[in-house]
Amino acid sequence: MHQLATLDYIVFLFYFLVVAGYGFWIYTKKKKASVDSKDYFLAEGSLTWWAIGASLIASNISAEQFIGMSGAGFKLGLAVASYEWMAAATLIIVAVFFMPVYLKNKIYTMPQFLSTRYNGTVAMIMAVFWLLLYVVVNLTSILFLGALAISSISGLSLSLCMYCLAAFAIFITLGGMKVIGYTDVIQVFFLVLGGLVTTYLALNLVAEKFGTTGVMNGFNLMTAHAGDHFHMILQRDNASYLDLPGLTVLLGGMWIANFSYWGCNQYITQRALGADLPTARNGILFAAFLKLLMPVIVVLPGIAAFVLYQQGSFQTELLNADGIIAGDRAYPVLLNLLPAGLKGLSFAALTAAIVASLAGKTNSIATIFTLDIYKKVLNKNADENKQVQIGKIVVVAAMLIAVFIAPHLGIDKGGLNYIQEYTGFVSPGIFAMFIMGFFWKKTTSNAALFATIGGFLFSVLLKFLPGMVDLSSLASIGFASASATGVFEIPFLDRMGIVFALCILGMVTISLIENADGKKANALEVDTSLFKVSNSFLVGSLTILGLLVALYAMFW
């Protein structure tokens, strides 16, 4: 039944009042002190490690994870958990090597890093690009997919859900990063609690389907009846090999996607840029621990739905408008089976994930526009209050643009692919620019421009290459696989790895030529002593890495 009971609304209202009330209290408490732009956009020195870690996860997990990853779990199984578990390892590397460079050089935005390391031209090109990407791809997809998911569960109209999500997110975002950071702690609480309730229900339903009870019995039955869904590394003959191309997930493009997202992304790094190094590192480590838990919440329900479908359940509920089985319907179908009250809790969890992501993304849009475009180009004399005012105007404007264009972009519930497809065209070039800028002093501005423009063009070329050239010869070495239409394509993650290698090669060549001509690059201050970590951070990191090794060994 696609509607909420009275008890569900009461539970959801409780969630709304707690988040809104706490956010308003933080905001009024903050207003008593003088607020400058860095305090508003970055909550400079205000966020604790647990607030940073919770905010990282709350901003990252949204409808595309709950709906898209559960759908991927239904289709291909636990292998999609690599996006989450490899992110945990990536976060540790970002905390050890990236954050010291950012904080030592007082970097507050990603375009500022590019301006400091390269020049204003590179920074401005990327600032405009990031704004377009964040608004047109990320913000719109989060808003539309979130509204679509909530509409399918509650029975409310899609437009009403979109307007309500936008309004709630604006309310949170206008309070600034401090309000976002601390309300995200509550959002993560509801997200994890509600997500675990849904997983518990799903596994228990599997057990009951086979005449027993208990979550562990349900999990064991899932591994027995869907063993092919519990392999982390897909073989070449797997129908989903193009999505997750075997060992190259561990050795190739997945790293590019993760480093670009977690280490070179204003939306993510902004949470830690206002803190000192120990606090930032501990917050990122906390986020890495939470990342280990995410597949339990977003992937296992999809696998459970697959087993239940195999056993005769959900034969009509999982059909899309064309009468085809759609894994992306798995999570909403499971939520609709929850009893009153628990359904409201899971509904609140999904809403929390969406609103937190919207607020984080919108705040990043406002930060880049205000600090990197408005302050540097449009009004160089803008004082602190003016910058905060502009930031608030941008928050509202960005959300209104997203509300207007989201229904017209043709985003469906496969939004995880939508986001990955478009951000993946530029992620290799962005990561190449940052990693070379960090650790090779000879890297020049023209080399960075090559990575920006050349990386995008290489990605486009490899995307459309299968339509021009027969790539079947690459299948024997695992770098091509037949699509549903029979055309041999390069897996998406492999394309990213290839483009990254080409960008690095081009940047090294250009930089060496320009250095030979006597041109000097702008070098960052890199203090290698800051790469040393505390004993507690080291123990936490080794624990996470050990768990990752165990998980991959168990489900190889």
Instruction: Tell me the per-residue pLDDT of 446-480, one tens digit each, with 9 for 90 and over.
Output: 998 999 888 889 888 887 877 677 766 666 666 66
State both tokens at 381: 């004399």
pLDDT at 360: 78
Mean pLDDT of all residues belonging to the chain: 81
- pLDDT for 39-67, tens place per residue? 666 555 567 888 888 878 877 777 777 77
CA distance 77 to 315: 19
Per-residue confidence band for 228, with pLDDT thresholds at 50, 70 and 90: confident
- Close Cβ partners of 198 (under 8 Å, ≥ 6 residues apart): 297, 301, 331, 334, 335, 338, 346, 349
| Residue listed under structure tokens 């375009």 | 111
Domain range summary for the chain, segments of one domain joined by +: 37-423+526-554
Could you tell me which residue, 539 or 364, shows the higher pLDDT? Answer: 539
pLDDT at 491: 79
Does residue 6 have a pLDDT over 70? yes
- pLDDT for 179-195, tens place per residue? 776 777 777 777 788 78
Does residue 407 have a pLDDT over 50? yes
Burial class (CB in 10 A: 0-12, 13-18, 19+), 47: buried
Mean pLDDT of 96-102: 87
Could you tell me which residue, 35 or 213, shows the higher pLDDT? Answer: 213
pLDDT at 500: 93
Does residue 226 have a pLDDT over 70? yes
- In the three-class reduction of DSSP (H, G, I as helix; E, B as strand; rest coil), residue 11 is classed as helix
Per-residue confidence band for 288, with pLDDT thresholds at 50, 70 and 90: very high
Q: Decide: pTM greater than 0.85.
A: no
Residues 458 and 423: beta-carbon distance below 8 Å:
no
Lowest-pLDDT range of 343-347, 356-360, 465-469, 536-540: 465-469
Which ranges of 94-214 would DSSP assign to H, the alpha helix?
A: 99-104, 110-117, 120-132, 140-154, 158-173, 177-209
Does residue 285 have a pLDDT over 90? yes
Residues 450 and 366: beta-carbon distance below 8 Å:
no
pLDDT at 482: 65
- Close Cβ partners of 545 (under 8 Å, ≥ 6 residues apart): 89, 92
pLDDT at 541: 93
pLDDT at 352: 78
Mean pLDDT of 162-167: 88
Residues 235 and 246: beta-carbon distance below 8 Å:
yes
pLDDT at 311: 85
Per-residue confidence band for 481, with pLDDT thresholds at 50, 70 and 90: low
User: Bridge partners of 325?
Assistant: 319
Lowest-pLDDT range of 25-39, 104-118, 202-216: 25-39
pLDDT at 1: 47
- pLDDT for 69-87, tens place per residue? 888 888 888 888 888 999 9
Could you tell me which residue, 156 or 487, shows the higher pLDDT? Answer: 156
- pLDDT for 486-532, tens place per residue? 667 777 888 888 899 999 999 999 999 888 766 666 667 777 788 88
pLDDT at 413: 44
Closest CA to 347 of 180, 155, 207, 174: 155
Could you tell me which residue, 542 or 16, shows the higher pLDDT? Answer: 542
Which CATH superfamily groups domain 37-423+526-554?
Answer: Sodium/glucose cotransporter (1.20.1730.10)
Per-residue confidence band for 161, with pLDDT thresholds at 50, 70 and 90: confident
pLDDT at 43: 56
% of the chain at pLDDT higher than 70:
85
| Residue listed under structure tokens 């999505």 | 243
- pLDDT for 244-268, tens place per residue? 777 878 887 889 888 888 888 776 7
